[in-house]
Chains A and B, each alone.
Chain A
Amino acid sequence: METTLSGRIWKFGDNVNTDDITPSPYLTITDPSELAKHVMENLNPEFAGGVQKGDIIVAGRNFGCGSSREHAPVALKAAGVSLVVARTFARIFYRNAINLGLPVLESQELIDLVEEGEEIQADIGKGEITLSSGKIIKTNPLPENVLGILEAGGLINKVRRILEAGE
């Protein structure tokens, strides 16, 4: 599995909820690229148009709180986001992101050390983030079963393997 990635940072605050990430009027949309067009539109109207493949979201506490809608990580992934680093995550968002193959790391300090637009590198396997200055930040490494899901490319692929093996 490719565990290092790099991208530009978009910063968000505390308690970004899933209504913020994907507002309710778009919940009947099933096409991820359509959802991506409206991602974060109430919080930062520039985001959906400006985000590029590989970009990284750095946020405060409780990222992804609120409704369990999987539209939220789907839209972020479809918009090109490669990683979300937050001080803490809401648990359903955290699980959904992993299950979809969108890596998430928890870091208390990163948000205070980086600027919007700064380019950083992350090694998800090791849980290490390298800032543009070269400084390395350690985060909580992901549990093994979680890495296993990311490694399979998400839960869908993992279950497919289990079902195929069972046949």
Chain B
Amino acid sequence: MSAGATLSEKILARASGRESVRPGDIVDAKVDLAMSHEACTFVIKSFKEMGAKKIWDKDKIVIILDHWVPASDVKSASLHKTIRDFVNEQGIDNFLDVGRGGIAHQILAEDGWVLPGMLVVGSDSHTPTAGALGAFATGIGFTEMAAVFALGELWLKVPENLRVIMDGSMGPRMDGKDIILKVIGQLKVDGAIYKAIEFTGPTVDSIGISHRLTMCNMATEMGAKTGIISPDAKTEEYLAWTGKEYEAVRSDEDAVYQEERNFDITDLEPQVACPSNVDNVKGVSELKGVKVHQAFLGSCTNGRIEDLRAAAEILKGEKIHKDVRMIVMPASQKIYHQAMKEGLFDIFLESKATICAPSCGPCFGGHGGMLAAGEACISSTNRNFVARMGHPESFVYLASPWTVAASALYGEITDPRSV
């Protein structure tokens, strides 16, 4: 008998109508869900240039405005308008405008768009976030997305599989962010180019979906085509409210992996990615005394309710350091509402943090929290490239929500376990 298949291979085989696929095969795959955000403006342009008239399936397309929400200037307002016009013209019901959604990757997970076993494409590089629910989710370009809008399929090269096996239990005030930063620090930013990273092992089994979403989100930072986790009881529980049916495909025991890497997170300290590459990762203890001027809590990486609760636990009854401004940007309207109901906003406001509407905001240097020359930000986001959050001479340190909040209190990078 031939060897078993990985979850990724099973999904790609099903989507391309084949019995089985192997790494390196080039397949034409049918897409189960296509997501676009403001990039849709460019998708529309290509769609029209192709001479396409009608989208292939309006039930399989979701468009969510998230990068400049609410529109931050006339240009972004025009992008939004172009998209609204297209949505109306095509009769797309699955459109989440300002105030209805939040950051697309979060919405796909929390609103039940993504189910295990699906092939999901998005016109955004962090689409692999959805892999946390056992889908094969990958980012594609605008023109490719236009082809998907028109035809519902695209060519894919079946990726090699890299299995990351995690052992050890997560300590107090630790997050999926610390785990994934540790992995990126070791594998480096090109450690998984074109590959599907499958996260497995006792640690992964024991952590909740929120942490898993954070880990798959940052698989992108190693060049991976996707990050993926076989669905389990936690996935089932997370999706129970949707009432939707799906087949929970898992990797076979005898599946073949091109490479395996083992990590033990026992005694791991909080991790921080230093400027200006995501793989420049250090333990928090090495960064004592590094001053920060801004603390940002938000994004598709760590803007979930669990992340806000973590920060609130640190900030409760305390005041943020006088030289720091802290920005809290929940990843969706639902999270925003939930945080308000739980009283987290009282804690943030009393500690002098400012709370902004769900958006990508400063994460990509868009709006709402840019940095001036010489300033540093401790951020719960996923990229710290030069000029990512403002001036080319500003600095971004990536860390967990716990570390972001603790650092905001002291005005310098701080171990949240010491607070």
Q: Does A17 contact B (CB under 8 A)?
A: yes
Q: Contacting B139 at CB < 8 Å: which of A25, A61, A68, A145? A: A68
Tell me, yes or no, whether B79 is within 8 Å of chain A by CB: yes
Type the 1/0 row for A67-101, where 1 means its CB is closer than 8 Å to any CB of B: 11110000000000000000011111001100110
- Once the chains are docked, how many angstroms separate the CA of A154 from the CA of B144? 10
Q: How long is the Cα–Cα vector from A78 to B7 in the complex, in angstroms?
A: 40
Task: Bits for A148-166, please: 1 = Cβ < 8 Å to B, else 0.
Answer: 0000001110011011100
Residue contact B51 to A164, C-beta cutoff 8 Å: yes
Q: For residues 3 through 62 of chain B, which have their beta carbon under 8 Å from a beta carbon of chain A?
A: 26, 39, 41-42, 45-46, 49-52
Known interface pairs A30-B45, A95-B144, A96-B144; A19-B193 also in contact (CB < 8 Å): no
A6 close to chain B: CB less than 8 A: no
Return chain B residues, CB-CB under 8 Å to A3. none
Of the listed stretches B169-177, B253-261, B295-303, B380-388, name the one at the interface; the rest are far from the partner chain.
Answer: B380-388
Determine if A91 and B50 form an interchain contact, defined as CB atoms under 8 angstroms apart.
no
A contact residues around B388 at 8 Å (CB)? 19, 24
Count of chain A residues with a beta carbon within 8 Å of a chain B beta carbon: 39
Chain B residues closer than 8 Å to A159, beta-carbon distance: 50, 52, 146-147, 150-151
Residues on A with beta carbons closer than 8 Å to the beta carbon of B387: 19, 23-24, 42
Contact count A vs B, C-beta below 8 Å: 115
- Please tell me which one of the listed residues A28, A61, A100, A163 contacts residue B190 in the complex, with CB atoms under 8 A apart: A61
Q: Which residues of A contact B125 (CB under 8 A)?
A: 66-68, 92
Complex CA gap A164/B15 in Å reads 25
Would you call B189 and A163 a contact (CB within 8 A)? no
Q: Are A24 and B147 in contact (CB under 8 A)?
A: no
- Asked if B194 CB lies within 8 Å of chain A CBs, one says yes
A143 at the interface (CB under 8 A from B): yes
How far, in whole Å, are A96 and B366 apart by their CA atoms in the complex?
23
Closest to A91 in B: B194
Q: Which residues of B contact A95 (CB under 8 A)?
A: 140-141, 144
User: Chain B residues with Cβ under 8 A from A99's Cβ?
Assistant: 141, 143-144, 147
Number of interface residues of B (CB under 8 A): 46
Cross-chain contact A62 with B193 (CB below 8 angstroms): yes
* A24-B26 in contact (CB<8A): no
Q: Which of A18-49 contact B (CB under 8 A)?
A: 19-20, 23-25, 28-30, 42
Please report the C-alpha to C-alpha distance between residue A94 and residue B233 in the assembled complex, in whole angstroms.
37
* Residue of B123, B124, B144, B277 with most partner-chain A CB within 10 A: B144
| B289 CB-CB contact with A under 8 Å | no
Assess the B385–A100 pair: CB atoms within 8 A.
Answer: no
Residue of A with least CB distance to B75 = A28
- Set B141, B365, B386: member contacting A20, Cβ < 8 A: B386
Instruction: Verify B79–A28 contact, CB threshold 8 A.
Output: yes
CB distance from A45 to the nearest CB of B (A): 11
Contact of A96 among B76, B141, B364 (CB under 8 A): B141
- In the A-B complex, the 6 residue pairs with the smallest Cβ-Cβ separation, listed nearest first, are A28-B75, A96-B141, A62-B190, A68-B125, A24-B365, A70-B142
A-B contact sample (10 more), CB < 8 A, given A88-B190, A163-B50: A15-B190, A17-B385, A19-B387, A24-B366, A62-B189, A62-B193, A68-B140, A99-B147, A155-B46, A159-B150
Interface residues of B (CB under 8 A from A): 26, 39, 41-42, 45-46, 49-52, 73, 75-76, 78-79, 123-125, 139-144, 146-147, 150-151, 155, 157, 189-190, 193-194, 223, 225, 277, 364-366, 383, 385-388, 392
